[in-house]
Amino acid sequence: MSEQDERASQLSAMFDGELPDAECELVARRLSRDPELRRSWANYGLIGAALRSEPLAPSALAPRVHAALAAEAAAVAANSPVSGSESMQPATQVTERPLHLPRWAVPVSGVGVAAGLAAVAVFWWAVPGDPNVSTATVVPSAQSVAAPLIEEVVIAPATPALAMVASAPAAASAVAPAPVVGGPDAATSGEPVSYVTPRPNPRSSPPAVPLPAQLASFVEAHSAVSAPMIRHSVISATMAVSEPEAPPVEAEGR
Amino acid sequence: MPREMRFALQSRARGSWRALGLVLLAWAPLAASADEGLEWIERMNQALVSRNYSGTFLHERGGQSESLQVHHRVRAGEISERLASLDGSGREFIRRGEDVLYVLPDQQRLISERRPRNTSLLPRFPQLDQRSAELYVVSPVTRTRLTARDVRLVSITPRDPFRYGYRAWIDSRTYLPLKTELFDNEGRVLERVTFTSLSLLRDLPDELFNPAVDTRGFQQVRLEPPRQRIQRVTAQQVWNVQSLPRGFRLTQRGEQSVPGSESRVPHLVFSDGLASVSVFIGVDQPPFSPGEAGRERRMGASTAYSAFINGQHVVVVGEVPVRTARLIASQIRAAQPAEPAKPAEPAKPAEPAKPAVPAQPASPVEP
């Protein structure tokens, strides 16, 4: 157990660029031997961390991984709906950056991790602090739209189809002329069906006391001065306000 | 013999020095860990207000949960923000600079309000300092993973029942909180915000800050700010806060327009560095029927308390236990109303526990 933990932390350290080169090579070699470890790598989605951890050559790993992915995809080609050429696009855009592939990455990208990686949604990625440097990767099952807006995706949406990456710029350009109708990001917000989130179970717990609508203004005014950490929850509390208990005072302002 | 005795004494003395050294060694990292935790919280707070991001989060409170989408943008110092409920009601909260909009599709209503940011109430968030470490136990920051991200877990536990505890899983690179929890002093989680998707963006288009639904045909309710600063609440009234729960002090004051009150009402903000409490004084129409004993509402970690105190309706809102809200409210006193000629700014008392507070900011004094 502890050995596993150690490996995991080694992996993590490696991807965060905190492991000495020599050790990286060791881990990488072990990675190429040990299917278990490989699986955990894929499972953890550490590819993202791998990309981030190479600030000097952020694009280094991506083409490799991508090549591996593409090879894998070619193998599965016939029945897979993954559009290879489309997902290829971002990678080709970044390969113009010089490749400084760290030594440890060679064995890593060489091994057949692609299959595991296919499940991992990967995005355009930039290194914090250098807005001009972007690395490319792919969202395997969704069309990757080059998104100049995106600086960094912290967490991928559960459903790639709803990825901000894909929808935000497209929606912005599509809806720009029509200001109100439909809303710009209806594509992302209008389909709660696709979100995998726990549904509230009102029976499992006592219902919260609804906040009267009149209180919303107070709560909102307070939210402006409350700690940013809890601001989201403060505001969203006002969104859950119930029907006003008394005739709505807001109407006076009409 | 004396030599041996001296040696024994010496060694004992050395032993106790060593023990003290050990104690110091043990203590030092603890102090450092508190600092580190507070640093991470500060970074997170900064990131939340200064960065551009879009995300979806699950907000759990009081046994209920709701998914919301958030867009946040800072452009030329102006904050735009949109929070949309992805469940049932489809309600939205939109702020574009000074304009605040509530979109309530379930009620076919659109409530808009212009909320000029009072200079005295510009985002000046709770400040964490060593004082906070006296009120809370800041656990050592632990490094872990959450949704495949490298995160720092910061836990802050209150030392007394006047405040809540916080846990935040802060992304190590972006400093955005991937998950936050508020818990009471018995360890029960009152609120939890968990991001299911989160993107840091270089910029966000304006369109993202429009309502998602067609609001034509909605009942338009506009909350007009009071036209003039003609104060019914006698101008330059001074409020005294007799004594506050430990660690709380007045951090901001200003005035707010609130529904049901023709004029703006004084808005005082008290904070212990993490939690903040807003006090609105002299509200014409309290949000819920006033009673002698006061009324309270709890919504997860948010407490709202309304009471009729010393001839004024006082509304208290904050992320604090009810007892704290009640205690603060009960301490609001109208001090000697200042002479009309007297300037608004009284001598600021040195003691933070008993600030004398002018009802309004000093700047615009009407003749």
Taking only the tens place, the pLDDT of each residue in B156-186 is 999 999 999 999 999 999 999 999 999 988 8
Question: What is the SS3 assignment for A36?
Answer: helix
Q: CA of B64 to nearest chain A CA: how many angstroms apart?
A: 6
Whether the pLDDT of residue B73 is over 70: the answer is: yes
- Tokens 């004024």 found at: B312
First vs last Cα of chain A: how many Å apart?
Answer: 67
What value does the mean pLDDT take over residues A67-86? 42
User: Residues of A173-200 as b/e, b for ≥16 C-beta within 10 angstroms?
Assistant: eebeeeeeebbbbbbbbbebeebebeeb
How much is the average pLDDT of B56-74? 89
pLDDT higher than 60, residue B2: no
pLDDT at B107: 81
Q: Do A149 and B204 touch (CB under 8 A)?
A: yes
Which of B115, B180, B297 is closest, CB to CB, to A229? B180
Mean pLDDT of A215-237: 76
| A3 in B contact zone (CB under 8 Å) | no
pLDDT of amino acid B266: 83
Partners of residue B180 in chain A, C-beta under 8 Å: 229-230, 233
Segment of A98-107, A122-131, B186-195 carrying the highest mean pLDDT: B186-195
Q: Which of B212, B216, B299 has the CB atom closest to A185's CB atom?
A: B212
Note the pLDDT of residue B157: 92
Q: Is residue A89 within 8 angstroms of chain B, CB to CB?
A: no
- Give the pLDDT score at B358: 43
Hey, is the C-beta of B35 within 8 angstroms of any chain A C-beta? no
Q: From B87, which residue of chain A is nearest by alpha-carbon distance?
A: A192
B300 touching A, CB under 8 A?
yes
Contact B126 A206 (CB under 8 A): no
Q: How far is B15 from chain A (nearest CA, A)?
A: 36
Confidence at residue B174, expressed as pLDDT on a 0 to 100 scale: 92
pTM exceeds 0.80: no
B295–A contact, CB cutoff 8 A = no
Q: Which of A213-227, B19-33, B225-239 has the lowest mean pLDDT?
A: B225-239
Q: Which residue's entry shows tokens 């809370």?
A: B136
Chain B within 8 Å of A175 (Cβ-Cβ)?
yes
Residue B6 Cα distances to B10, B175, B193, angstroms: 6, 57, 64
Q: Which residues of chain B from 329 to 358 reach within 8 Å of chain A, CB to CB? A: none
Query: What integer is the mean pLDDT of A99-105?
Result: 42
Average pLDDT of the residues in A117-143 = 29
| Mean pLDDT in residue range B66-94 | 88
Query: What is the pLDDT at residue A3?
Result: 62
Adjacent-strand bridge partners of B74: B79
* Residues shown for chain B: 367
Contacts of A189 in chain B (CB under 8 A): 69, 84, 86, 212
Roughly what angle, to the nearest 10 degrees, separates helices A21-33 and A35-44? Answer: 110
> By the CB < 8 Å criterion, does B75 face chain A?
no
The residue ranking higher by pLDDT, A223 or B288, is: A223
- For A180, which DSSP code? S
Which of A163, A184, A245 has its CB closest to that of B288? A245
Over 70: is that where the pLDDT of B123 sits? Answer: no
A90 — phi, psi (to 5°)?
-60, -35
Residue A123 tokens read as 């995005």
Res. B282 pLDDT band, cuts 50 70 90: confident
pLDDT band at A47 (very low <50, low <70, confident <90, very high): very low
Q: What is the mean pLDDT of chain B?
A: 76
Question: How does strand B238-241 pair with strand B142-146?
Answer: unpaired
Is residue B101 within 8 angstroms of chain A, CB to CB? no
Question: Could you tell me the pLDDT band of residue A223, with boundaries at 50, 70 and 90?
Answer: confident
* Helix axes A228-239 and B2-50, enclosed angle (nearest 10): 40
Greater model confidence, B353 or A237: A237
Contact call for B64 and A205, based on CB within 8 A = yes
Facing residue for A254 by CB, picked from B177, B208, B221: B221
Partners of A168 on chain B (C-beta within 8 Å) are 54, 201, 204-205, 208
**Would you state the structure tokens that stand for residue A152, as one six-digit string?**
């960094």
Cα dihedral value B131, B132, B133, B139, nearest 10: -170
Pairing of strands B109-114, B219-223: parallel
Q: Tell whether the model's pLDDT for residue A114 goes beyond 60.
A: no
Task: Select the more confidently predicted residue: B319 or B1.
Answer: B319
